[in-house]
Chains A and B, each alone.
Chain A
């Protein structure tokens, strides 16, 4: 069974600095998708970034980028120039192609709580 592990329950970073959140996963699949989601305190869960496993190029969205190491099954999120608004719970999630039917379930890590300090 696929699993997703986020080894850092809590992290903190100073405003304007860079921080990296780790995520590892376990799968025997070759084609799959990986996601980072952000959930600010008392606010909606939103997609940060998405990576397709068959693409070697690391995904980037403004200050957010990933380091995707397929062989190592690692998918870390780097936040550059951290801002106070980046304070949130960050979840890593894995999606594999369905074996049958229209199955689009995500397998979630337990999250990393990131605090950006002024």
Chain B
């Protein structure tokens, strides 16, 4: 089975801090994704990556950046955390071929105080 591991299940940070959310997958997937999930807004794509060092903006990239130095690891960075970034963050990975499903981690519930 595909295993997508997010480094923290719960995280509390302060406004203005630089925050790193880590995601590792063990199935050699080319594609990796970061979403945020908010009640009533569903899943919104922040960034995705289709190869090492390659990234593309999703629908809501403002205030975030990403890093993919190794194929198995995709990091989401909040450069200067703000309270409106309090949310559930989901990482996913998939094969590159058309129609392949995404596999998700358990999520990180991030609170910015």
Flag if A44 contacts B99 (CB, 8 Å). Answer: no
A46 surroundings in chain B (CB, below 8 A): 104
A-facing residues in B89-109 (Cβ within 8 Å):
90, 92, 94, 96, 98-107
Name 25 interchain pairs, CB-CB below 8 A, sorted by A.
A33-B98, A33-B99, A43-B106, A44-B104, A44-B105, A44-B106, A45-B92, A45-B104, A45-B107, A47-B101, A47-B103, A50-B99, A52-B99, A91-B43, A102-B30, A102-B31, A102-B96, A103-B50, A104-B50, A104-B98, A104-B100, A104-B102, A109-B42, A110-B40, A110-B41
C-alpha gap A44/B56 in the complex (Å): 25
Flag if B105 contacts A101 (CB, 8 Å). Answer: no
A111 surroundings in chain B (CB, below 8 A): 42
B106 surroundings in chain A (CB, below 8 A): 43-44
Nearest to A51 among chain B residues (CB) is: B99
- Is B58 in contact with chain A by the CB < 8 A criterion? yes
A-facing residues in B20-54 (Cβ within 8 Å):
30-31, 33, 40-43, 45, 48, 50-51
Nearest to A101 among chain B residues (CB) is: B50
C-alpha gap A48/B12 in the complex (Å): 32
Flag if A95 contacts B99 (CB, 8 Å). Answer: yes
Flag if A44 contacts B43 (CB, 8 Å). Answer: no
Which of A35, A50, A91 meets B42, CB within 8 Å? A91
For B50, B94, B102, B106, the residue with the greatest tally of chain A CB atoms inside 10 Å of its CB is B102
Q: Shortest beta-carbon distance, B49 to chain A, in Å?
A: 10
Given A44-B104, A103-B50, A104-B98, 16 additional A-B pairs, CB 8 A: A33-B99, A35-B101, A44-B105, A44-B106, A45-B104, A47-B101, A50-B99, A95-B98, A101-B50, A102-B31, A104-B50, A104-B100, A104-B102, A106-B102, A110-B41, A111-B42
C-alpha gap A39/B98 in the complex (Å): 23
